[in-house]
């Protein structure tokens, strides 16, 4: 099993290019199930979850091709779908497999997807996805760990009024994909506003979908008979960009984060500035971070977009260990997302947890240690902590980080970090 060996203490310097957003690429790949024609996706990140989604589609006899080398483009053609089923073996490694449910029911009128189960950061149920599909006229049953959805009268889903009682990102995406081929209109209230949802809407509209209200929490979808192929470039990964901003800040370095979209990072940039990090935006797709000033503690509360992203909470905690004073970090989205805290404490951080609040007192001199990554963003935060720690750290179970970051050790090395992948 691979791990990272990191010698801390280097100020990062240089330019890093941000890859396409994993959380946008996954629903875009699932959306290709909606059309028999080819969907060309550009700026796909080379991360493990994309390979898993590719395998899942191939399992359904969908053609998945990578025309370029290294593969940042994908062509997906679901001319025929042999098997509308997402098996447990694939779903268990990637919860986002649930994103195939909506498009399969929308196109075929039936689907069977393994229930994703809990994960390290919380129970993460899919009840809201299922309730919404019922509101659109699907019949849902669960058996042997699988959820089966079908249109009882056969044919297409009727569509309907969906009111999400809680904002859900993949839930909104799933229902949008079910609604675009429905027989009637679907109204979605309390829809997620994340940029990845907007990116999916853009792709679906290119494929011929009729969606109004994009960018608001009320969406209106007029179902169409058929969708066509399209070409679409995936937006840059705002979480990868945010992680590199923190990497620059925590090491007191000077890092240019290129090919990102600063407008998707407004709440994070504001919070980093509050902690004393100097961030400049030379143009619409570049940010420069200069971390030479003293860091000051700041409180953070995770929220749905455009609030502070839960996917940046762990990385911010690493930064807070270096800030002067007490930072209160409140996690409101997931119930158990502080697993990285105990590993940071083993490195010498002063953190106390009280339910959904973590209080980080700094600055502390972190010491190189062996730590274990528990989930994708937790592993990124431990790499960040190791970059500033004194001496050598080992971050174990980097398969978590490989799920969502494209060769993070290579990108960090190019900025001067001493990081190596060892087995
Ligand atoms: C997506 C992102 C993930 C990010 C999260 C929140 C992808 C592939 N993943 O995950 O990186 O951390 O948004 O920004 O895009 N919930 C329910 N029932 C449901 C669905 C969700 O109770 O049916 C709860 C969840 O447990 C969680 C909250 O709602 O507490 C928000 O979850 P959701 O927005 O659905 O997260 P994901 O879409 O799974």
Cα(277)–Cα(296) distance, rounded to whole angstroms?
9
Task: Measure 168 CA to ligand 1 centroid, in angstroms.
Answer: 5
Which atom of ligand 1 is found nearest the CA of 404? 11
Residues 244, 191: one domain?
no
The mean pLDDT of 166-187, rounded to a whole number, is 97
Task: Measure 282 CA to ligand 1 centroid, in angstroms.
Answer: 33
Angle at 153 between CA 148 and CA 159, to 5 degrees: 75
The count of structural domains within the chain is 2
Q: What is the CATH number of the domain that holds 125?
A: 3.65.10.10
Kindly report, residue by residue over 254-298, the tens digit of the pLDDT.
999 999 999 999 999 999 999 999 999 999 999 999 977 799 999
pLDDT of residue 303: 98
**Longest Cα–Cα distance in the chain:** 65
| C-alpha neighbours within 13 Å on the C-beta side of residue 197 | 27
pLDDT of residue 143: 87
Residue 228 appears among annotated catalytic residues = no
Task: Measure 117 CA to ligand 1 centroid, in angstroms.
Answer: 13
Cα(408)–Cα(42) distance, rounded to whole angstroms?
20
Chosen domain end from 211, 232, 253? 232
User: Where does the pLDDT of residue 121 fall: very low under 50, low under 70, confident under 90, or very high at 90 and above?
Assistant: low
What number of residues does the chain have?
423
Residues 220, 266: one domain?
no
Q: Is-contact 393 404, C-beta < 8 A?
A: no
Residues 170, 251: one domain?
no
Give the structural domain span for 10.
3-19+236-422
Task: Measure 67 CA to ligand 1 centroid, in angstroms.
Answer: 32
Nearest CA to ligand 1 atom 35: 168
Which tokens hold the place of 187? Answer: 């109204």
Chosen domain end from 206, 232, 258? 232
Residues 207, 352: one domain?
no
Q: ω into residue 324 within 30 of 0, thus cis?
A: no
Residues 385, 240: one domain?
yes
Q: Is-contact 291 252, C-beta < 8 A?
A: yes
pLDDT of residue 70: 67
Using a 6 Å CB cutoff, which residues line ligand 1? 23, 26, 96, 122, 124-129, 166, 168-171, 196, 310-311, 333-334
Whether pTM > 0.95 for this model: the answer is yes
On the question of pLDDT at 118 being above 60, the answer is: no
Chosen domain end from 210, 232, 254? 232
Residues 296, 219: one domain?
no
Kindly report, residue by residue over 10-32, the tens digit of the pLDDT.
999 999 999 999 999 999 999 99
Which atom of ligand 1 is found nearest the CA of 127? 23
């Amino acid at each position: 099993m691979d791990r990272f060996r990191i010698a801390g203490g280097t100020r990062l310097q240089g330019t890093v290019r941000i890859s396409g957003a994993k959380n946008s690429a996954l629903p875009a790949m699932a959306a290709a199930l909606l059309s028999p024609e080819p969907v060309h996706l550009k700026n796909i990140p080379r991360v493990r979850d994309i390979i898993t989604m590719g395998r899942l589609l191939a399992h359904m006899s969908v053609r998945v091709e990578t025309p370029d080398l290294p593969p940042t483009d994908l062509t997906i053609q679901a001319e025929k779908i042999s098997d509308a089923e997402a098996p447990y073996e694939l779903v268990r490694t990637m919860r986002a497999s649930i994103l195939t449910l909506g498009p399969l029911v929308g196109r075929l009128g039936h689907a069977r997807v393994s229930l994703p189960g809990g994960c390290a950061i919380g129970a993460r149920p899919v009840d809201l996805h299922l309730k919404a599909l019922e509101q659109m006229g699907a019949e849902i049953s669960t058996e042997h760990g699988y959820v089966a959805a079908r249109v009882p009268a056969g044919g297409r889903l009727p569509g309907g009024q969906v009111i999400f009682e809680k904002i859900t990102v993949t839930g909104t995406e799933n229902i949008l994909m079910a609604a675009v081929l429905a027989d009637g209109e679907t109204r979605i209230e309390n829809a997620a506003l994340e940029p990845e949802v907007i990116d999916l809407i853009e792709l679906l509209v290119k494929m011929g979908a009729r969606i109004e209200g994009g960018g608001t929490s009320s969406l209106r979808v007029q179902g169409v008979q058929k969708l066509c192929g399209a070409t679409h470039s995936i937006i840059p990964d705002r979480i990868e960009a945010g992680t590199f901003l923190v990497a620059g800040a925590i090491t007191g370095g000077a890092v240019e984060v290129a090919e990102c979209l600063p407008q998707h990072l407004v709440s994070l940039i504001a919070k980093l500035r509050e902690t004393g990090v100097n961030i400049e935006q030379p143009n619409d797709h570049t940010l420069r971070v200069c971390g030479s000033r003293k860091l000051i503690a700041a409180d953070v509360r995770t929220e749905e977009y455009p609030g502070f992203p839960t996917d940046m909470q762990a990385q911010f905690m690493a930064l807070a260990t270096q800030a002067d004073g007490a930072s209160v970090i409140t996690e409101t989205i997931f119930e158990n997302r502080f697993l990285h805290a105990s590993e940071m404490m083993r490195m010498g951080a002063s953190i106390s947890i009280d339910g959904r609040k973590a209080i980080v007192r700094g600055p502390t001199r972190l010491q190189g240690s062996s730590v274990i990554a528990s989930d994708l963003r937790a592993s990124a935060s431990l790499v960040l902590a190791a970059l500033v720690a004194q001496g050598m750290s080992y971050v174990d179970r980097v398969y978590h980080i490989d799920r969502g970051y494209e060769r993070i050790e290579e990108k960090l090395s190019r900025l001067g970090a001493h990081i190596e992948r060892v087995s």
